[in-house]
Each structure stands twice: as C-alpha cells, then as structure tokens.
Amino acid sequence: MNRLKSIFLLLFSLLTFGIFLDVKADTIPGSDFEVVSELVLKENKTGVIYEFENLETREQFLKSRNTTPSSASSFRSYGVSSVRRTYLSSYRDTAVSGRVSYTVYGGSSGASVSISSGQSFSSSEYGIGFTYGSAATHFVPPYKYGYIVLKASFTVNIYKLEVKYQGTNEWRPAGRIKTFSNQNVWTELRTYS
C-alpha cells in the first residue's frame, strides 16, 4: 500500500511540475498585448509597457486601441473618444545577462574566451530583449577563470496616459506608459580566482 501511495505521489508531483513548466504569459484575446500583471500590459509588437491606475482605465484603453470594424459599435458605446500620452520623464538604466560563454581557465600564459554573434538576453524587470550582433573575444589573465556576460544600457521614457470620454473636453488620467530608446549592448569579461 505504501508503495502504491509513493508511486501515486510521484506521478502527481511530476504532472504538477510539468504543468508549471509549460506556463506562458497571458495575452489579451484579439490584441497584441501581453498581461504582465493585473494593471500592467506589454505591447508585443513595440515592447511598450503600459501601467494603469485601475481595471476600468485598462479596459477603456484596450477598447480604444481595438480598430477592427466589428468593435466599432462597442467602442462608441463604451464612451472613450480619444487617448493621448504626455511625456513625464526619462532615466537611464542598465541590464546584465548571465553567462553567455563557457568558463575558461587562463593557465600559466592566459587564454581566450569567445562568443558567436547574435547572443541575446532579456531584462526581467522591463520585459525587453537585447541582442549583441557581433562575435567577441576576451583575454582571460593567467591563473584566473573568466567568462563573458552581455551588458545593456538604455533610456526609459515615461509618459502619462489619458483618455477623453465622448461628449466631454476633459482629459482623465488612465495610467503610465514606458518606452525604451538609446539601447547600447556590449560584452564584458568577468574573472575570478
């Protein structure tokens, strides 16, 4: 009986683990938006991140972005006539990948460590990806271990999102938008003894 319970528990654990391995980000049906969290959406095509103040403004924004003819009547009845964004601020930020090369030992005279072109990584904080388009080689000093990482610097631009309801001239806050520009990606050698 214990053996049967153990087998059942093992199968259940493997099934549960397999389900969690296949989890993908939710997307809004009929749109190009990925749900980052309840009030944060990412537009897959542009990589722009939208942060909303509440679910109502998120839904209004989604309705206003839907341009298919079948949704025109629901758009008009929902009451949003215009959407705009206003620049608020910008700041620089950086992201670092994990190892993108093998770890190499320098030995008594040093050694080289290389990566091929097209290495990529993503920033988990912002949900954006970076690619280094060239091959790269670094010299690992004698008696050190070394590996290559990718680093990226970029500008985060923050905009205020506002909506205007039909029949009014008043713009109401609907959240914030983040866009990314001035991306620069390079390689860096990390060493240790």
Q: What are the extents of the domains in the chain?
A: 22-192
Q: Is the pLDDT of residue 16 over 80?
A: no
Q: Residue 5: which pLDDT band, with cuts at 50, 70 and 90?
A: low
In terms of pTM, does the model score above 0.75? no
Q: Find which of 61-75, 143-157, 169-183 is predicted with most confidence, using mean pLDDT.
A: 143-157
Q: Is the pLDDT of residue 185 over 70?
A: yes
Mean pLDDT of 126-150: 95
What phi, psi does 167 have (nearest 5°)? 85, 0
User: 5, 59, 91, 46: which is closest to 175 by C-alpha?
Assistant: 59
Mean pLDDT of 12-29: 54
Mean pLDDT of 70-87: 61
* CA angle centred on 56, ends 53 and 61, rounded to 5°: 85
**pLDDT for res 4:** 61
When comparing pLDDT for 117 and 64, which is higher? 117
Mean of pLDDT over the chain: 81
**pLDDT for res 3:** 67
User: 193, 184, 177: which is closest to 65 by C-alpha?
Assistant: 177
Mean pLDDT of 104-121: 96
**pLDDT for res 56:** 76
**pLDDT for res 25:** 56
Sign of dihedral through CA atoms 58, 64, 70, 73?
Answer: positive
Q: What is the pLDDT of residues 64-75, one digit of tens each?
A: 776 443 343 333
